[in-house]
Each structure stands twice: as structure tokens, then as C-alpha cells.
């Protein structure tokens, strides 16, 4: 990344955060965005990434957008989508984030939409929840606590499906 | 001969040809016993394993094995597949005792032998990492396995697209079929059981 794009990104983030907190003070009722069933998996030693999965509900009256966030113990968080295409696993960064329509519910789950924790400082261990924050255009910073399922788990509660 | 007759004979000739081809396709046995049929998938390889040993596909003759193309910066399909194939081997007990699974990284730039070793320590000990030395070696082996991989830039670096199937080889070293990430454990285990019995 060049210095210029880095500065631009920082400026954009500042605007996003400032704008979001401004909007939050005026328009968004508390509880507009509700997050549940947040989980991730224990990571193998040396793995630098993990996928975060959760359900986002928008109980407000206006659309909102997940733009990014942070995760304790990770350098960065990105919003991604993966898809299996002709037997090939493809993963893409969603630069536009994820829009949650009013009254809508979006599920981030294995094989589809997810938040990606990057530059993990140390492996995630099963059983000890990790805190993070998700940033929304209107709702602002929403705290999230992720349960840590075992390595290879397909869902938060079940080892096998 | 008038034009109509020529057309009529041509049509009958075409019908006969199609019938003959269809008959041949039905009568000829498939080239291998597996689900995905025959074809030259795989082929001989000699690669270093993550623990420094050398793995020659010729020395694997007599025991079925599996190959998976992945990378450690993979949040979902790679750890899940390695975990599940490990569980499958445990469930199959003694039959899978000598089964081997090889993880080949499509991201040799980041996945050093040391990293692969520590990464794979989270999974069943019958899973080993195979090391490709450079891009050319990776291209050559993925071509032999008809596997796809592609580096995709992201805002902070890059990620990899990769074929997610587990390739299965029988005890003669012939391509037998694949395990699919979206299959149930029952389906995977039934396939592995047949492979190991064959």
C-alpha cells in the first residue's frame, strides 16, 4: 500500500467513524443493530487468520451497513465473502461492506459471508471468548463477543453436523 | 439419386453412428473403480515433506493416499477439511491405519516448511505437508492434478483461490475419486471405506 492510499484510508475511516457517531446521536435508536450467535474457531498453531461468524439483525427503520471493525488479538478485520465455484474455493474482500436492510437479518456463516480476523497475534484457543467491535455506518461501534468453537467446527455448538 | 434420398440416407447414417457410440459408452467398463472415473489425474511425484523426509509416490504403492491443495491463511475450508479427514480416519480405525493425507500449499511464499509443520500439528499425524520449492514446481504439480489456484490481491495483501476437493488415490497409485467439503461425514466415510477395501 502506498503512503497516499494509506492516508486516504485513514481519512475515510475517520470520516466513517465521525459520521457514524454523529448519525447515532441523532437518528438511530439504540438496539437498531442486534448481533447474536457470534463465534469463531480455535486456530492451528501458526495460522494467521480466522473467520468470524454471526447473525446481524437490523431492527431500525433505515438500512445500515457493516463496514469493518476490530478483534482483540488480531491486527485487522476485513469483511469477506467466500463461495465454492466449480470446486474452487474463492474468497473476496467486500470493499462495500454488507448492507442490512431495515427489518432484515443477515447471517455470516462458513462457506459464505464472514468477517476475517487477520494477523492473529497468537492462536485462538477453544473455550475462551474473545471480544471485538463491528463498525456500522449508522449504528456505529457495536461490541461483539465471539465464542471459540473447536478447530474444524461447522457450527458454534456442534462438532459434527 | 434425388436430394430427398440423400438427406434420408445421411440421417440414417447419423442415427446409426450415434447408436454405435452410445452402445460403446455403455458397454465399455469405466477406467477405474472410483466415483470420478479414470483419466490421468495425479502422477508420479517426489517432494520433501514438512519434517524433512522425502516422499516418493512410488513408495506409496500398496497403500491408498489423499492429496489436498490449500494454504494456512485460509479461514474455513482448509482447517475444516483437515480436521474432518482426521476424524474420518479415526472413525475408520485399523482400516485407515496406513492411509496418508498430503497437504500441498498453494502459497509457498508464506507457507514455509516450519509454518506448515506447526500448522499441521493441530491435526491427525497421518496428515503431512509436502513442500513445493517454487512457483514452477507448484504449477507443474497442480497441472498434473488438474487443480486450480490463483493469487487474488486484497487491500492488505492477497488471498488464494484453490481447488477444495480431497483427491483420492488407490493402492495402485491411480486416481480414484474425490472427497467434497460439502458432503456429509457418512458419505465421506463410505467412500474412504470402499477405497481402503479396494
Question: What are B70-107's pLDDT values in tens digits?
Answer: 999 999 999 999 999 999 999 999 999 999 999 999 99
pLDDT band at A109 (very low <50, low <70, confident <90, very high): very high
Encode burial over A67-93: b for 16+ CB neighbours within 10 A, e otherwise.
bbbbbebbebbbbbbbeeeeebbbbeb
Grid coordinates in use for A40?
A: 469463531
Report pLDDT digits (tens) over B155-167.
889 999 999 999 9
Please give the average per-residue pLDDT across A67-90, as a whole number: 95
The residue count of chain A comes to: 161
Residues 27-46 of A with CB under 8 A from B: 41, 43-46
Q: Cα–Cα distance between A15 and A126 in angstroms, integer? A: 36
Classify residue B58 by its DSSP letter: G
Cell 431500525 belongs to residue: A60
Quote the minimal CA–CA distance from A25 to chain B in Å.
31
Query: In the prediction, which pLDDT does B198 show?
Result: 86
Query: In the prediction, which pLDDT does B120 show?
Result: 97
Q: Pseudo-torsion of CA B72, B73, B79, B80, nearest 10°?
A: -150
Residue B35 has pLDDT above 50, yes or no: no
A95 touching chain B per CB within 8 A: yes
Crossing angle for the helix pair B185-197 and B77-92, nearest 10 degrees? Answer: 60
Show the CA angle centred on residue B50, arms to residues A118 and B140, nearest 5°: 85
Query: In the prediction, which pLDDT does A19 show?
Result: 41
Indicate the average pLDDT of chain A: 85
pLDDT band at B145 (very low <50, low <70, confident <90, very high): very high
| Chain A interface mutation, best of B35, B73, B75, B80, highest count of A Cβ atoms under 10 Å | B75
Percentage of chain A exceeding pLDDT 90: 74
pLDDT band at A14 (very low <50, low <70, confident <90, very high): very low
Residue A8 has pLDDT above 60, yes or no: no
Query: In the prediction, which pLDDT does B36 show?
Result: 44
| Chain B interface mutation, best of A10, A12, A46, A148, highest count of B Cβ atoms under 10 Å | A46
Show the CA angle centred on residue B186, arms to residues B181 and B188, nearest 5°: 45
Classify residue B122 by its DSSP letter: T
Per the model's pLDDT, the better-predicted residue between B15 and B110 turns out to be B110
Burial of A10 (0-12, 13-18, 19+ CB in 10 A): exposed
Choose among B93, B53, B109, B103: nearest CA to B192.
B93
Measured CA to CA in angstroms, residue A43 lies from A40, A81, A129, A140, B72 at distances of 9, 19, 13, 29, 10
Contact criterion met (CB below 8 Å) for A131 and A143: yes
Rounded to a whole number of angstroms, the distance between the first and last alpha carbons of chain A is 41
pLDDT band at A22 (very low <50, low <70, confident <90, very high): very low
Grid coordinates in use for B190?
A: 463410505
SS3 content of chain B, % helix, strand, coil (to 5): 40, 25, 35
Per DSSP bridges, beta strands B157-163 and B166-169 are unpaired
Looking at the partner chain, which of A1, A84, A152 has a beta carbon nearest the beta carbon of B83?
A152
- Poorest-confidence range of A31-40, A104-113, B5-14, B59-68? B5-14
* Pairwise CB contact (< 8 Å): A87 & B165: yes
Residue A97, number of CB atoms within 10 A of its CB: 16
Residue A23 has pLDDT above 70, yes or no: no
Please give the average per-residue pLDDT across A33-53, as a whole number: 97
Encode burial over A99-135: b for 16+ CB neighbours within 10 A, e otherwise.
ebeeeeebebbbbebbbbbbebeebbeeeeebebebb
* Pairwise CB contact (< 8 Å): A46 & B119: yes
* Pairwise CB contact (< 8 Å): B121 & A44: yes
Q: Cα–Cα distance between B130 and B116 in angstroms, integer? A: 9
Grid coordinates in use for A75?
A: 491486527
Classify residue A150 by its DSSP letter: P
Please give the average per-residue pLDDT across B131-156, as a whole number: 94
At residue A7, the 3 state secondary structure works out as helix
Per DSSP bridges, beta strands B65-70 and B100-105 are parallel
Write the ipTM.
0.77
Residue B37 has pLDDT above 90, yes or no: no
Per the model's pLDDT, the better-predicted residue between B65 and A21 turns out to be B65
- Poorest-confidence range of A42-51, A121-130, B17-26, B123-132? B17-26
Percentage of chain B exceeding pLDDT 70: 81
Grid coordinates in use for A135?
A: 463498525
Amino acid at each position: 500500500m502506498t503512503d497516499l492510499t494509506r492516508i486516504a484510508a485513514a481519512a475515510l475511516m475517520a470520516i466513517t467513524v465521525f459520521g457514524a457517531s454523529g448519525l447515532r446521536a441523532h437518528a438511530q435508536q439504540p438496539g437498531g443493530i442486534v448481533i447474536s450467535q457470534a463465534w469463531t474457531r480455535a486456530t492451528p498453531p501458526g495460522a494467521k487468520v480466522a473467520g468470524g461468524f454471526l447473525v446481524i439483525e437490523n431492527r431500525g427503520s433505515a438500512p445500515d451497513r457493516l463496514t469493518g471493525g476490530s478483534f482483540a488479538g488480531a491486527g485487522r478485520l476485513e469483511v469477506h465473502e467466500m463461495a465454492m465455484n466449480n470446486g474452487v474455493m474463492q474468497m473476496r474482500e467486500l470493499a462495500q461492506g454488507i448492507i442490512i436492510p431495515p427489518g432484515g437479518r443477515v447471517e455470516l456463516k462458513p462457506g459464505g459471508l464472514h468477517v476475517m480476523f487477520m494477523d492473529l497475534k497468537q492462536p485462538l484457543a477453544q473455550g475462551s471468548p474473545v471480544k471485538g467491535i463491528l463498525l456500522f455506518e449508522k449504528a456505529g461501534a457495536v461490541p461483539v463477543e465471539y465464542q471459540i468453537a473447536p478447530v474444524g467446527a461447522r457450527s458454534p455448538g456442534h462438532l459434527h453436523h | 439419386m434425388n436430394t430427398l434420398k440423400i438427406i434420408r440416407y445421411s440421417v440414417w447414417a447419423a442415427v446409426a453412428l450415434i447408436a454405435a457410440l452410445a452402445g460403446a459408452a455403455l458397454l465399455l467398463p469405466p477406467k477405474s473403480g472410483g466415483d470420478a472415473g479414470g483419466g490421468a489425474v495425479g502422477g508420479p511425484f517426489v517432494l520433501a515433506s514438512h519434517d524433512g523426509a522425502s516422499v516418493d509416490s512410488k513408495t506409496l504403492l500398496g497403500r491408498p493416499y489423499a492429496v489436498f491443495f490449500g494454504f494456512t491463511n485460509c479461514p474455513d475450508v482448509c482447517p475444516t477439511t483437515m480436521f474432518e479427514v482426521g476424524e474420518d480416519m479415526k472413525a475408520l480405525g485399523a482400516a485407515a491405519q496406513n492411509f496418508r493425507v498430503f497437504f500441498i500449499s498453494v502459497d509457498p511464499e508464506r507457507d514455509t516448511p516450519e509454518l506448515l509443520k506447526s500448522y499441521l500439528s493441530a491435526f491427525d499425524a497421518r496428515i503431512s505437508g509436502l513442500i513445493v520449492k517454487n512457483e514452477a514446481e507448484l504449477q507443474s504439480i497442480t497441472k498434473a492434478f488438474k487443480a486450480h489456484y490463483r493469487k487474488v490481491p486484497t487491500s492488505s495483501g492477497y488471498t488464494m483461490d484453490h481447488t477444495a476437493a480431497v483427491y483420492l488415490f488407490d493402492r495402485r497409485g491411480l486416481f480414484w475419486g474425490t472427497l467434497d467439503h460439502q458432503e456429509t461425514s457418512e458419505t465421506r466415510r463410505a467412500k474412504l471405506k470402499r477405497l481402503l477395501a479396494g
